[in-house]
Amino acid sequence: MNFFEHQDLARQNTQKLIGLFAISIAVMIVAIYIAALFVVGIAPRSLWQPQLLFSVGVVTIIAIALASWYKTFSLREGGSVIAQELGGQLLIPEMADEQGLQLLNIVEEMAIASGISVPAVYLLESERGINAFAAGFTPNDAVIGVTRGSLENLNRDELQGVIGHEFSHILNGDMGLNLRLMGLLHGILFIYLTGDLLWHWRVRVNSDENKGLPLWAFGLALMAIGGIGLICGRLIKAAVSRQREFLADASAVQFTRNPNGITGVLQKLQQMDSRLMSPKAEAASHMFFGNALKPSFLEDMFATHPPLAERIRRIGGLNARDLAAMPSPIRHSQTSGDSLTMGFAAGGNATSVTPEQVVNEVGSVAPEHFAHAQALLAKLPESLRLGVREQQSATAIAFALALDTENLQIKERQINWLRQVQPVEVVDKALEVSSELSQLDSTLRLPLVDLIIPALRQNSAKECQRLCKCVHGLVTATGSLSLGNFVLQLVLWHRLEPCINPNSVKTVEFTSIEEIWSDSILVLSALARVGQSQADEIAYAFRSGVFRLPRAGQLDTPETPVACSFTDIKKSIDRLRLASPKLKQGIVDACAHTVLLDNKVTPSEADLLRAIAMTLDCPIPPFLNSQRGVSKAKQSSVKQ
C-alpha cells in the first residue's frame, strides 16, 4: 500500500468514524429518553411517547453537534493546541539540554529524509512515562510531542524508532483522522459534563416528588449515559486506531531497517509506565505511541492500543528477508566524494529510476534517505547549522536564498531594497549567509528551507506574511523571476501557510479529473519546458506526461504545451491541492513521466518536481544529481 492508498484509507476510516458516531448518538438518545420518562413521571405507566422522543432526540443531537463543533473549531490551529493542552512546551534549541538537542536532530533527519517540513517539537516536561504523539491536519502542519521520560530512558536508536512510528502517522494520514475523532467524541463527553453539572446543582423540578424525580437525579442519569458515551468513544478509538498502530510499528522498522530500536522501546514499556498524568490524556489517548491511560479490567476491549506483547511479536516476525523486501523504491549509490545520488547518475548519464518508483517514493522513508539527510546536514557549516534554529538567523537565511549570486549589480539592487525594509543586522547577516551559500551544493537550497521553518513559525502570522512579502520583493528587484526563486517562494509560502492562515484547513473538493484538467495540463507544460530545450522534445515530453493522466484519451488534449506564467502555475497548483488522493497520484505520476522521459534529471527539474509534490502535500525525498545549473533557454521558457 503506497502513500496515496493510505490517504484514501484514512478518508474511508473517517466515514467509518462518522457511522460509529451516529450509532453512539442513537444509543444515547434512547437512554436519555428513558431517563426523561421517569423524570416527568410518565414511566413506568407508559413507555411510548413519540413527541417526547422527538424532543429528546432534537435537543440531544443539537447539544452534541454544538459541543463537537466547538471542540473541532478550537482544534483548527492543529497539533500545537493538543500539545499545549497536554502541558507541552515548544522545544527551543537555545533552551534545550543535550537530550533535547538529540531529539531535534532526529526529527530534522527524519523530516529531510521523508521530504516534509520539520515539525515543531513539544516536550512534555512533567510526564515521566515513555510516550510520544504526532498531531496535525497535514504533513505541512504536524507537531511532535515527546515526554521527558522518553528522553531519559531511551537510547538514540530507540528514540529514532519512536519518532519513525510517529512519522508514519504523519505520512499515512492518521493525524487528521485523530483530530476529527477528538472533535466528534467531545460531543459525547458533553453529555457526561452536563449530567455532572446538574448533579452538583441539586435543584428540584417540583416540590411534589410524586410528579417527577429531582433534577439532580436526572443529572445522575446523564452522567451514567455519558459514561456509556465514554465507553462508546473508547470502542470507536479502538476500532479506528489499533490497526494503525501495527502499521506505524512496521513503518518504523521500514524507515530505519532497525527492528531492535522499536522493539527495545516496547520491551521497556512492559517494565515501565507509559501513562500520562495530564487530565487531558483521555481525549487524546488514541494519538499516543503507548497506552496513555490507566489500565482497566476491560483493557483488551477498550484499549486504544494493541497489547504490547502482540506488537513485539509482530515486529519479531519481520525477519531479514521481510526487511529486505520492504519497499525502498529508489536505491541510492555512493559516488565520488560524499555526494549521494538517488538513482540519478552523475554527469547526465541514464538514470535507473522509473516514474513508477518516483510515485512509490512519495511518503516513503528508507535508511538510504537517512544517510542522505545526515550527509546534507554534515555539509552545512557550523554557523548555518546553528543559524537555522534561531529566528533572526533563519530570517536572514530566507533572504539570502533569494539573493542573486551571479550578477553583482542585481544583488546590490536587492540589498539596497532590503535595507529599506529590514534592520541592519538582518541585512548584514543575509550578506554573510549569501557568501556561505555560494560555496555550497545547490541541492542544499530546499533542505535549508525546511530546516528554517520551525524557527520562522515562532513568529506571528503578520511577521511570517511580512517575511514572504520581503522575499517576493527581493525576487521582484531582480527584474525577472528565475525558476529557482519561483520554487523558493512556492515552498516557503506553503510551509508557512499554517502560521499565516491557521484556520485554513484544506479539504477535498475535486474528485474528477475533468474539474482540474486544465490545471494539470498547465503544470505539465511547465515541467516539459524546464526539462527540454528543443520544441519537438518539449512537445514529446508534454504528451508523455499528459497520457498518464486519468481519462487522458477521453478529454481534449493540446498537441503542444500551453503558454503559462509562474503566476498561472501557482494558481493551478493551489487548485490541484484540493484534489482527492487518487487524483494526486495520477498527477504526480504524470509529472514524473514528463521529467524522466529522457532518463536525465537536472537540478531544476528535480527541484520543480519536488516543489510541486510538496505543495500537493505529497512528501517526497530529495532528488540528487551532480549536474549543476540549467540552461538559460530552459529558464526563460517560463515567463513571470
- The per-residue pLDDT for 534 is 87
- The per-residue pLDDT for 151 is 96
Instruction: State the DSSP code for 286.
Output: G
What backbone phi and psi angles, to 5 degrees, belong to 334? -95, 130
Instruction: State the DSSP code for 147.
Output: E
Q: Which has the closest alpha carbon to 286: 298, 296, 276? A: 276
Distance CA 525, CA 587 (A): 13
Q: Which helix (H) or strand (E) holds 135?
A: strand 132-135
- Partners of 211 in the β-ladder: none
Distance CA 53, CA 45 (A): 16
- The per-residue pLDDT for 257 is 77
CB atoms near residue 263 (< 10 Å)? 20
Distance CA 189, CA 585 (A): 38
Cα dihedral 333, 334, 338, 344, rounded to 10, equals -40
Q: Tell me, yes or no, if 166 is annotated catalytic.
A: yes
Q: Spell 229-256 as b/e; 16+ CB within 10 A means b.
A: bbbbbbebbbebbbebbebbbbbbbbbb
The answer to whether 433 and 387 have CB atoms below 8 angstroms apart is yes
Distance CA 52, CA 577 (A): 47
Distance CA 268, CA 248 (A): 18
Catalytic residue among 77, 166, 390, 605: 166
- The per-residue pLDDT for 146 is 97
User: Which three cell numbers, joined as nine digits, stand for 295?
Assistant: 489500565
The series of mean pLDDT values per 10 residues for the chain, 640 residues long, is 63 68 83 80 76 89 87 82 92 91 93 88 94 90 94 94 91 80 80 72 47 63 75 74 81 83 92 87 85 66 79 75 47 37 39 73 76 82 89 94 89 93 93 89 84 92 93 89 90 91 77 94 93 88 92 86 91 93 91 86 84 88 46 44
Q: Which has the closest alpha carbon to 87: 16, 17, 145, 159? A: 145
Strand 143-147, strand 120-124: pairing: parallel
User: Which three cell numbers, joined as nine digits, stand for 174?
Assistant: 492518521
